[in-house]
Structures are given as C-alpha cells and as structure tokens.
Amino acid sequence: IFFFVQEVEQTYIMIKPDGVQRGLVGEIISRFEKKGFLLKGLKLFQCPKDLAQEHYKDLKERPFFPNLIDYITSGPVVCMAWEGDGVVASARKLIGATNPLQAEPGTIRGDLAVQTGRNVVHGSDSPDNGKREIGLWFKEGELAQWESVQTPWLI
Ligand code: RTP
C-alpha cells in the first residue's frame, strides 16, 4: 500500500532592495498576512552575486541580466517562505504583472512601483520553483514549524 502525503504548498517571496530602501517591508508582509497565508521563514539578507545568478539562472542570456544581478545585490533583501493552499498562484496575483505600469491597482506592484527594473518584490512562478527557491535562500533550520491556531473559518 502506498500513501501519498499531500504536501502543503509553499512559495518563495522576496522583497527586493528597492522595497527595503523605500520602507515598504511592513506594507508588503502585511498583504500576505491579511490574505491568510502562513509565514514559515523570514530574514533580512545581503545576497551574494553567485546566489543571485543561481536564482535567476533561467534569465542569464537576457540583455538585462547583469543589471538584474547588480540590482538584487545592491542592498539587503527580505527573504520569505509563505505557505497555504494555492499560495504560488495567489501570491503572483497579489504581486501583479512584472511591469508595474501593467499591474492592476490593488496589486503590490500596481500600487507601489513604476519600473520593471525596480518592481519591489519577487514571487515563485510554480510550486516546484517555490521549493527550489526556498531551498536556495534558506538553510536547514531557518524555517519555522508552526500551524495557525485560528479557528478554521477565520483562515
Ligand atoms: P520575479 O521573478 O522577480 O517575480 O519577476 P517575474 O517572474 O515577474 O519576471 P521575470 O520575467 O522572471 O523577470 C525577473 C525579474 O527581472 C527583472 N526584469 N527586468 N526588461 C527588463 O529590464 C527586465 N525584465 C525583467 C525584473 O526585476 C523581473 O521581476
């Protein structure tokens, strides 16, 4: 007999250096909290170049890649692991389109940003990438084990 354990979905969300510099950390965290997702990992972190390159390796042939690496390593970022049903797709909706001028009002980028190259936040684009990126940015033991104690109808 095989038991398939349904894993709870997790996504990697990162407040980029412009979000930290502009004092938007609380505002951005608040949107994911209010939505009802569970914060499983959180740290302020100065990203080394090699990690930025690994994280964005799929974009390494793109002309903006060097600028992207300089941007992500230009100051501290806030690394987060968020958990919940459908959290990957839902977080992408909360974040809004890559180009903030095309992001809907009400989304993080739609409300808080104007440039693609300064779009304040990152969110994993699939559950597999969520896993990969959390593994990349967090060491073992940095993620917290906890469940919400709120009554089910509140979350
Ligand atoms: P992210 O990975 O940061 O959540 O962004 P995304 O999926 O919405 O966009 P993606 O195409 O994966 O691009 C990653 C990040 O690269 C920067 N970018 N700059 N034309 C440009 O100058 C350009 N295009 C993309 C953005 O910071 C984008 O979020």
- pLDDT category of residue 150 using cuts at 50, 70 and 90: confident
Q: Classify each residue of 143-153 as buried b or exposed e, where b means 16 or more C-beta atoms within 10 Å of its C-beta.
A: eeeeeeeeeee
Q: Is the CB of 109 under 6 A from ligand 1?
A: no
Task: State the pTM of this model.
Answer: 0.94
Nearest CA to ligand 1 atom 1: 122
Per-residue pLDDT tens over the stretch 59-96: 999 999 999 999 999 999 999 999 999 999 999 999 99
Side-chain-side CA neighbours of residue 10 (13 Å): 19
Just list the catalytic residues.
122
Per-residue pLDDT tens over the stretch 95-104: 999 999 999 9
Instruction: Evaluate whether ipTM surpasses 0.90.
Output: yes
Q: What is the DSSP letter of 140?
A: T
Q: Is the CB of 116 under 6 A from ligand 1?
A: yes
Q: Is the CB of 14 under 6 A from ligand 1?
A: no
One-character DSSP codes across 53-104 = HHHTGGGTTSTTHHHHHHHHTSS-EEEEEEESTTHHHHHHHHH--SSTTTSP
Give the residue numbers of the binding site.
16, 64, 92, 98, 109, 119
Q: Which amino acid, residue 31?
A: R
Given a cut of 80, whether residue 2 has pLDDT beyond it is no
Per-residue pLDDT tens over the stretch 12-63: 999 999 999 999 999 999 999 999 999 999 999 999 999 999 999 999 999 9
